[in-house]
Amino acid sequence: MTEPIDVDTGAGPRVLVLEDEALVCDLVVEALQDEGVETLCANDPATALELLASHRATLRVILTDVNLGAAMDGFEVAREARRLIPDIFVLYATGYAEADFATRSVPGAMIAPKPFALHEVASRIAALARVVGTY
How does pLDDT run along the chain (135 residues), one tens digit per residue?
444 544 444 454 589 999 999 998 999 889 888 888 889 999 999 999 999 999 998 898 999 999 888 789 999 999 999 999 999 999 998 877 666 787 888 998 888 887 778 888 888 787 777 777 644
80: Cβ contacts below 8 Å, ≥ 6 apart:
49, 52, 72
46: Cβ contacts below 8 Å, ≥ 6 apart:
none
* pLDDT over 90 percentage in the chain: 39
pLDDT of res. 17: 95
pTM of the model: 0.84
SS3 per residue for 75-99: HHHHHHHHHHCCCCEEEEEECCCCH
Separation of alpha carbons 117 and 99, rounded Å: 22
Separation of alpha carbons 97 and 132, rounded Å: 28
Separation of alpha carbons 76 and 107, rounded Å: 13
Separation of alpha carbons 127 and 135, rounded Å: 10
